[in-house]
Amino acid sequence: MEHDTGRIPAAYRAVMAAAEPIVRWWGRLEVTGLELLPAHGATIVVANHDSAWDPVVIAVAARKRRHIRALAKASLWKNPVLRRVLDGMGQIPVRRGEGDTGALDSAIQCLEQGGCLGIFPEGTRSQGRQLRARSGAGRLAHAVPQARVVCAAVSGVVDIVRFPRRPRLKVTFFEPTPPAPAESAIQLSNRLTAELRAVAPVAR
C-alpha cells in the first residue's frame, strides 16, 4: 500500500522527530488499530481532547502512516516563531466561536486534495469537564462525503506533565458506527464524541 510520506513537510518531520522520544519512550506509547487509518486518500481523524499534547501524541502514533494536518486555535499564530512552525507543518488556524468559514474552506480543500485532517469535535480541551460537541466534524464529513472518518481515542496524556511520574499513553484508532439516514452535522459530531468518550473518558 502506497503511503503519502513523500508529501510530509520538513517542519512536520522535525517536530515529530523531536516529540517521538518523549511520546514513545517517556510516554510508553501504545497504539492499536493503526491499520484502520487509510495510508492515502481523504481522511478525517476525529479525536477527544483533554490535553495540549493530544495533537502531538496522535501525530506520533500515526507518523509511519499519515501526515495529519489539524485545525488549531488561531491564537497560537500570535507567536511569530510558533506561527512559522505551524504554517510549515501545514496546520490550519480556526477562530473559535466565530463561524470561521475560511478555516472550513481550507479544511475542505485539504480533504478534496486527498489529505488527512485532524479535528477535535469538542472544540477545546475538556479540563475535566464533559463538553458538548460542535458541528465542525459533522460539517466536514457532509461536505466531503468521500472522506473516510476514523476516530482516535487518546488517553494518559494529562500525565505527561507529572514528572517524574511517567505517563502511559495510548491511542486507539477505530471506525465509528455507520451514519444514520438523514443524520445532521451536529448529530454526527455528537455521536462521534460519545463513541470517543466511551473509549477515552474525560480526564482531568
- What are 92-104's pLDDT values in tens digits? 988 876 666 888 9
Burial (CB < 10 A; 0-12, 13-18, 19+), residue 148, is: middle
So what's the pLDDT on residue 193? 97
Q: Is residue 21 part of a domain?
A: yes
So what's the pLDDT on residue 1? 35
Q: Is residue 204 part of a domain?
A: no
Band (3; pLDDT cuts 50, 70, 90): very low
Q: How far apart are CA 138 and CA 17, in angstroms?
A: 32
The maximal CA–CA distance of the chain, rounded, in angstroms, is 50
The domain tally of the chain equals 1
Q: Is residue 99 part of a domain?
A: yes
Domain that includes residue 123, residue range: 5-199
Burial (CB < 10 A; 0-12, 13-18, 19+), residue 204, is: exposed
Q: Is residue 194 part of a domain?
A: yes
Contact 179, 165 (CB under 8 A): no
| Residue 199 identity | V
Q: Is residue 101 part of a domain?
A: yes
Cβ atoms within 10 Å, residue 60: 24
So what's the pLDDT on residue 99? 63
Look up residue 94 and give its three cell numbers: 480556526
| Residue 91 identity | Q
Q: Which of 137, 146, 149, 56 is nearest to 104 (CA)?
A: 137
- Nearby residues of 68 by Cβ (< 8 Å), 6 or more positions away: 45, 58, 59, 62, 116, 117, 118
Contact 2, 40 (CB under 8 A): yes
Domain with residue 189: its CATH number is 3.40.1130.10
Work out the mean pLDDT of the chain and round it to a whole number. Answer: 91
Q: Is residue 107 scored above 70 in pLDDT?
A: yes
Q: Which CA distances in Å does 179 have to 79, 103, 186?
A: 39, 24, 12
Write the pLDDT tens digit of every residue in 132-165: 999 999 999 999 999 999 999 999 999 998 888 9
